[in-house]
Amino acid sequence: MACQRWQVCWSSGEYNTLRALLEQAAKENQLRCPYCSFADTQVIDSRESDDGAVIRRRRKCPQCNGRFTTYERAEAAQFMVVKKDGRREPFSRDKLTRNTLKALEKRPVPQELVERFLQRVEQRLYELGKSEVSSREIGQLVLEGLKELDPVAYVRFASVYMGVSDLEALQQVIHQLMVQQQSYAHPSTRRDSG
Ligand SMILES: [Zn+2]
């Protein structure tokens, strides 16, 4: 490819590589399917909330036929999180992700499931439709989900984020876990001490 205007001349191989990279980047920008990570999901329904602040889109994945919902919300309309000490900060998905991943560290939970779980928590928070949500409410939502996702993560999360009043409930869960472990015990199962 001869070129006068550009200082750098691309060989056709380089050009193809670059084009592939750009196409890849464009795909990354699209919303990936939470079930199979396929990039080209289709919008099948789109609805605005009454005040127009939130757009809810139903999407369908052509690869696995999975359906999921996304919520688009203007940054300014995002809800605030009221912390235990009364301070407020904008809801951060990153923070939610970090805290959840901490509890799931080294646990054998597939990434897609974690991603799906986080998306569900986030959706439920938006569906509350409140301008302020307490950090405790968020914690409860995460806990509810973790209980099914991974009991060990559940206990970790509860012990870090929940208050003393939950300790009794926590003890019950630990007890249940021990009973489960005993009944599920199998010679080929690798023991996880974490
Ligand atoms: Zn899919």
Q: What's residue 2's pLDDT?
A: 44
Task: Give the structural domain span for 62.
Answer: 28-75
Domain annotation covers residue 162? yes
Q: Kindly state whether residues 34 and 95 are assigned to the same domain.
A: no
Give 175's pLDDT tier (boundaries 50, 70, 90): confident
CA of 9 to the centre of ligand 1 (A): 39
Q: Kindly state whether residues 43 and 139 are assigned to the same domain.
A: no
Query: CA torsion, points 163, 166, 171, 175, in degrees to nearest 10?
Result: -130
Q: Kindly state whether residues 37 and 117 are assigned to the same domain.
A: no
The string of pLDDT tens digits covering residues 70-83 is 877 654 457 899 99
Q: Kindly state whether residues 109 and 71 are assigned to the same domain.
A: no
What does the block give as tokens for 189? Answer: 């199962």
CA of 41 to the centre of ligand 1 (A): 8
Identify the residue with better confidence: 7 or 123. Answer: 123
Claim: this prediction has a pTM higher than 0.85: no
Confidence check: pLDDT of 88 > 90: yes
CA of 146 to the centre of ligand 1 (A): 23
Q: Kindly state whether residues 46 and 121 are assigned to the same domain.
A: no
CA of 62 to the centre of ligand 1 (A): 7
Beta bridge partners of 133: 81
CA of 43 to the centre of ligand 1 (A): 13
Identify the residue with better confidence: 51 or 10. Answer: 51
Question: For the chain, what is the domain count?
Answer: 2
Q: What's residue 185's pLDDT?
A: 56
Q: Kindly state whether residues 48 and 99 are assigned to the same domain.
A: no
Domain annotation covers residue 58? yes
Domain annotation covers residue 14? no
What does the block give as tokens for 143? Answer: 């806990």
